[in-house]
Chains A and B, each alone.
Chain A
């Protein structure tokens, strides 16, 4: 077992590397503390649809990772949630574009719940009947999202930005794609993606290190097989968007503007990739965050309201920025934002703002560490990226003003896609 201590943030991490390839990272919290948070994650999410295993290329429908996440809870003796509830723990699961996580929080019966979680992941029970039933549940989930005009618009913007990349579609897939799911596809996914070598277990909070160590040693002995990780394949994607301008007429009571900007992914080391993501996010905050001149002006001119938001997406072979606004002056807002993002903004990125944001980002990091679930989630995210949570602070202090300012040039007009919803 490896022990790492981070003096700055008063954090300790214990790392167990099993022979079967599984890694267990433990972040203890001293007494008085009641909760233990356990997360099992695999670096496999909604955009991972094709992968090479040996000489074979396996393909799965849109929404497969999410469908699997739902269905792995089915056990021969009933739904796994039942046992979690019986143990008095709160279990959940989530699928992102790049990762699927199964988690629980417990204040009692931690080891029993951990054992149940691993049994659930190790046991498949996919039948035609339970897969068919799940299709109707997931269809209702997708319809719930589709009743939100903002989701419909965001989905359309992604479809307009991307030609082929699976990020074009919702994490849950489409009402059509989920109908293609079969027990055989789910079984095949389990055999290739869900093997121990692909799993990370993050445990945070109240823990007994000795008991955990003994448990995982025994687990390693009963699950000795190490399976090679599959190679995920992504289709070749064009730099420019599929569609640069689009208009929808969803029934809304105010006009909506979405600006998508496709970024060009680069081959970088994990450290440089994290720096790049932070630099772009910081640049956007300096340009359009609540302390920016531009934001204040947009409010003054009544061009935006409280719904205004900026979002960045950094996924494998798909990186983009999305700006969302509701407005009563759509033409003016569109022209102001496009000019700001591609011309006027560069001069507004100042050293003062950069220094201030560095402080604010350090604060945000500490805020994230304060919450057990956030801390464990971010820990897993950076581990799967090939870095570590505590290294992020070093990367932040290494970041230069020039890196942030230069990231402005990543936003180019030909890479922009605009979507307008004109109120009915």
Chain B
């Protein structure tokens, strides 16, 4: 168990369940936290679970499934108010008892709730095309991460959902509870007595022995995909770059600065040149995935300006690769990124997740060391990192009536 003690006004109790990311378990892992937190053997309906949470001063579960390179992590986080503020001595123990039930007390899952969850997820798939940005993102990922698990939906496909049955789900749950690596993180105003109580309930850690692997396929000739959809006023552009710089690489901090200068903040080149100077879009930005070693650019542009916008973005990137970045850009990006790291230390949720990831991936670097490493990045390092940037995928979602 990892314990973080501070003076936030809430206590977070987080359970992280890790496993190797696999196609055939995606659908189970997506559904399982939903089922576990919607009911238990004692609280056998959604309504009863909601009543219980409301009685705990509106305590809430936050559930998620995420990918970290080759790992899939399910998280179930229960947040309660500081019992001292509401002067309720039983609150912590009631919350711990509920969390334990959510984890272990499922002799069976309700067929009705299982069917409901399936139906709602299937309806989400059926309506995906109506959520244009999410649709474009899903399609872009399918192409950019072709042949890679990152291209496979976290929820599994609609077909996976349709095929899954309650018995299979139950078997998967029992396997997870018996064998899955599990880590508990507790974060908040916790006194020694409360900590003892928490340990009595949740002394359940199981270490993760799965080797962590960051890799991506080799570069390929640029793949261009243009798709049409109805009722679209603004085209969505996505560009995927092969980068090959990962979290553990020596050029990692240079890559972070590079991405910040390119499209990571309002002073970035994409924001200033494509949005502010050329007025081609409202939203534009970049994103660096350091577990996959890729960099992505996304923008929404006027339908009639699609090719012009793509050309301008490519020119901007090519110019950056050729000329590098200025000392001023480096200084500003470092200041901005340093601020992001420091301010994130004031977020309880970030601290909880960071503690888990550091434990999972065995990162020992302190925040001060990290900040110091960022300060050491030079324009030459960034230029070096820029040489690894190779355009790989261009995806455009357009309206069918331009």
Whether A250 lies near B267 (C-beta < 8 A) is no
B226 at the interface (CB under 8 A from A): no
A370 to B6, CA, bound (A): 12
A367 is contacted by which of B10, B53, B302 (Cβ under 8 Å)? B10
A136 to B276, CA, bound (A): 10
Central interface residue in B54, B85, B230, B300, by most chain A CB within 10 Å = B54
Chain A residues whose C-beta falls within 8 Å of the C-beta of B300 in the assembled complex = 140, 143-144, 147
Chain B residues whose C-beta falls within 8 Å of the C-beta of A366 in the assembled complex = 9-10, 57, 81-82, 85-86
- Give chain B's interface residue range (CB within 8 Å of chain A): 35 or more
Closest to B122 in A: A305
Cβ proximity bits A86-102 to B, threshold 8 Å, 1 near / 0 not: 11111100000000000
Whether A148 lies near B10 (C-beta < 8 A) is no
Whether A91 lies near B266 (C-beta < 8 A) is yes
Knowing A137-B279, A364-B58, A370-B8 are in contact, say whether A88-B346 is a contact too (CB < 8 A): no
Whether B120 lies near A370 (C-beta < 8 A) is no
A33 at the interface (CB under 8 A from B): yes
Whether A108 lies near B335 (C-beta < 8 A) is yes
Whether B9 lies near A369 (C-beta < 8 A) is yes
B47 at the interface (CB under 8 A from A): yes
Chain B residues whose C-beta falls within 8 Å of the C-beta of A293 in the assembled complex = 47
A144 to B234, CA, bound (A): 6
A10 to B85, CA, bound (A): 9
B129 is contacted by which of A146, A253, A296 (Cβ under 8 Å)? A253
Cβ proximity bits A314-357 to B, threshold 8 Å, 1 near / 0 not: 00000000000010100000000000000000000000000011
Whether B302 lies near A140 (C-beta < 8 A) is yes
A360 at the interface (CB under 8 A from B): yes
- Give chain A's interface residue range (CB within 8 Å of chain B): 35 or more
Whether B234 lies near A140 (C-beta < 8 A) is yes
B342 at the interface (CB under 8 A from A): yes
B228 at the interface (CB under 8 A from A): no
Whether A356 lies near B127 (C-beta < 8 A) is no
A84 to B265, CA, bound (A): 11
Knowing A296-B45, A359-B57, A367-B58 are in contact, say whether A253-B10 is a contact too (CB < 8 A): no
Chain A residues whose C-beta falls within 8 Å of the C-beta of B56 in the assembled complex = 363
Closest to A364 in B: B58
Chain A residues whose C-beta falls within 8 Å of the C-beta of B279 in the assembled complex = 133-134, 136-137
Closest to B265 in A: A85
Chain B residues whose C-beta falls within 8 Å of the C-beta of A8 in the assembled complex = 85
A81 is contacted by which of B54, B124, B266, B301 (Cβ under 8 Å)? B266
B276 is contacted by which of A79, A140, A356, A364 (Cβ under 8 Å)? A79
Whether B123 lies near A326 (C-beta < 8 A) is yes
Whether A147 lies near B132 (C-beta < 8 A) is yes
**Shortest Cβ distance from B304 into chain A, in angstroms?**
12
Chain A residues whose C-beta falls within 8 Å of the C-beta of B85 in the assembled complex = 8-10, 366
A106 at the interface (CB under 8 A from B): yes
Knowing A86-B332, A251-B231, A296-B47 are in contact, say whether A305-B123 is a contact too (CB < 8 A): yes
Chain A residues whose C-beta falls within 8 Å of the C-beta of B281 in the assembled complex = 137, 140
A299 to B45, CA, bound (A): 12
B130 at the interface (CB under 8 A from A): yes
Which of chain A's residues 99-158 have a Cβ closer than 8 Å to chain B? 105-108, 133-134, 136-138, 140-141, 143-144, 146-149
Knowing A140-B301, A299-B116, A356-B51 are in contact, say whether A105-B335 is a contact too (CB < 8 A): no
Knowing A359-B54, A366-B82 are in contact, say whether A90-B232 is a contact too (CB < 8 A): no
Knowing A89-B339, A133-B279, A140-B300 are in contact, say whether A362-B346 is a contact too (CB < 8 A): no
A140 to B124, CA, bound (A): 27
B22 at the interface (CB under 8 A from A): no
Closest to A371 in B: B347
B342 is contacted by which of A34, A79, A136, A147 (Cβ under 8 Å)? A34
A286 to B250, CA, bound (A): 55
A146 to B127, CA, bound (A): 17
Chain A residues whose C-beta falls within 8 Å of the C-beta of B328 in the assembled complex = 86
Whether B58 lies near A363 (C-beta < 8 A) is yes
Whether A291 lies near B81 (C-beta < 8 A) is no
Which of chain A's residues 258-298 have a Cβ closer than 8 Å to chain B? 289-293, 295-296
B75 at the interface (CB under 8 A from A): no
B127 is contacted by which of A205, A254, A295 (Cβ under 8 Å)? A254
Whether A88 lies near B339 (C-beta < 8 A) is yes
B338 at the interface (CB under 8 A from A): yes
Which of chain B's residues 85-136 have a Cβ closer than 8 Å to chain A? 85-86, 112, 116, 119-120, 123-124, 126-127, 129-133
Chain B residues whose C-beta falls within 8 Å of the C-beta of A292 in the assembled complex = 47
A306 at the interface (CB under 8 A from B): yes
Central interface residue in A84, A90, A143, A362, by most chain B CB within 10 Å = A143
B319 at the interface (CB under 8 A from A): no
Knowing A137-B279, A140-B234 are in contact, say whether A88-B119 is a contact too (CB < 8 A): no
A79 to B277, CA, bound (A): 11
Chain B residues whose C-beta falls within 8 Å of the C-beta of A86 in the assembled complex = 267, 328, 331-332, 335
A372 to B8, CA, bound (A): 11
Whether A363 lies near B345 (C-beta < 8 A) is no
A289 to B51, CA, bound (A): 10
Whether A290 lies near B82 (C-beta < 8 A) is no
A300 at the interface (CB under 8 A from B): yes
Closest to B341 in A: A107
Whether A367 lies near B120 (C-beta < 8 A) is no
Knowing A88-B332, A107-B342 are in contact, say whether A137-B129 is a contact too (CB < 8 A): no
Chain A residues whose C-beta falls within 8 Å of the C-beta of B364 in the assembled complex = none
Chain A residues whose C-beta falls within 8 Å of the C-beta of B25 in the assembled complex = none
Knowing A133-B279, A250-B231, A299-B46 are in contact, say whether A306-B120 is a contact too (CB < 8 A): yes
B355 at the interface (CB under 8 A from A): no
Whether B126 lies near A254 (C-beta < 8 A) is yes
Whether A87 lies near B335 (C-beta < 8 A) is yes
A400 at the interface (CB under 8 A from B): no
A174 at the interface (CB under 8 A from B): no
**Shortest Cβ distance from B365 into chain A, in angstroms?**
18
A35 at the interface (CB under 8 A from B): yes
B343 at the interface (CB under 8 A from A): yes
**Shortest Cβ distance from B155 into chain A, in angstroms?**
12
Q: Contacts A289-B50, A357-B54 known; list 9 others, CB within 8 Å.
A: A30-B7, A89-B339, A140-B283, A148-B131, A253-B130, A305-B119, A306-B120, A326-B127, A366-B81
Q: Which B residues have a C-beta under 8 Å from some C-beta of A?
A: 7-10, 45-47, 50-51, 53-59, 79-82, 85-86, 112, 116, 119-120, 123-124, 126-127, 129-133, 230-234, 265-267, 272, 275-276, 279-283, 300-302, 328, 331-332, 334-336, 338-340, 342-343, 345-348
Chosen A-B contacts, 21 in total, with CB atoms closer than 8 Å, are: A8-B85, A33-B346, A34-B346, A35-B342, A35-B346, A81-B266, A84-B267, A86-B267, A90-B340, A141-B282, A144-B300, A148-B131, A250-B231, A251-B130, A295-B47, A357-B54, A362-B81, A366-B9, A366-B86, A367-B10, A370-B9
Q: Which A residues have a C-beta under 8 Å from some C-beta of B?
A: 8-10, 30, 33-35, 79, 81-82, 84-91, 105-108, 133-134, 136-138, 140-141, 143-144, 146-149, 205, 250-254, 289-293, 295-296, 299-300, 302, 305-306, 326, 328, 356-357, 359-364, 366-367, 369-372, 424
